[in-house]
Chains A and B, each alone.
Chain A
């Protein structure tokens, strides 16, 4: 079975802190994605990566950056956390190509105070 893990289920940070959210997949997937999910807004794509050291902006990249130094790991970075970044963050991965099934991690509920 595909496994996508995220470093924390729940995280509480203060405004202005630098926050790292880690995602690891064990299926040798080329593609990895970061989404945030908010009530009434659904899932929105933040960043994605089709290969190591590659990154592409999604629909809402402002205030975020990413790092993909190894194929299995995709990190989302909040350089200076703000209260409007309080959200559920979901990581996903898939094999190369746009027509492959995406598999999701359990999510990280981030609260910024």
Chain B
């Protein structure tokens, strides 16, 4: 059964710092990996989708990479801002619907 792990569970950084969030999964037979952002009490906003044949995707200050063979993905956030404070979740799609990690709660301190 697919398991998705996100480390660390929480992260606090000063404004302007570049940071990396990690996601690992146990079964490399995936179709894609999706990164989401969730603000407190709200739904999930899709940030990036990486298909299994791709190595990375970029959107603005965000860059997500995928190493399917090792079961890892990273989300890189450049020049972090207080508005980036949120919980970031990764999820993988395989023979079952999306399986989610428990998220990394990010705080960017001004």
Contact = CB atoms under 8 A, between A and B. Distances in A.
Q: Which of B49, B52, B98, B100 has the most CB of A within 10 A?
A: B98
Interface in B32-90: 32, 34, 36, 41-46, 49, 51-52, 89
A103 B100 CA distance: 14
Contact of A42 (B32, B42, B101): B101
Q: How large is the interface on A (under 10, 10 to 19, 20 to 34, 35 or more residues)?
A: 20 to 34
Given A98-B31, A101-B34, A107 B41 contact: yes
A83 interface: no
Contacts of B28: none
A104 B100 CA distance: 14
A26 B84 CA distance: 28
A15 interface: no
Contacts of B98: 33, 45, 102
A58 interface: yes
Which bucket holds chain B's interface residue count?
A: 20 to 34
Majority secondary structure of chain A interface residues (helix, strand, loop or mixed):
strand
B34 A102 contact: yes
Interface string A38-67: 001111010010000000001000000000
Nearest to A106: B43
A104 B46 CA distance: 8
B97 A33 contact: yes
A99 B32 contact: yes
A42 B34 contact: no
A48 B100 contact: no
A42 B93 CA distance: 16
B97 A90 contact: no
Contacts of A92: 44
Nearest 6 pairs of A and B residues by beta carbon: A99-B31, A104-B44, A42-B102, A104-B43, A43-B100, A106-B43
Interface of B: 31-32, 34, 36, 41-46, 49, 51-52, 89, 91, 93-95, 97-98, 100-103
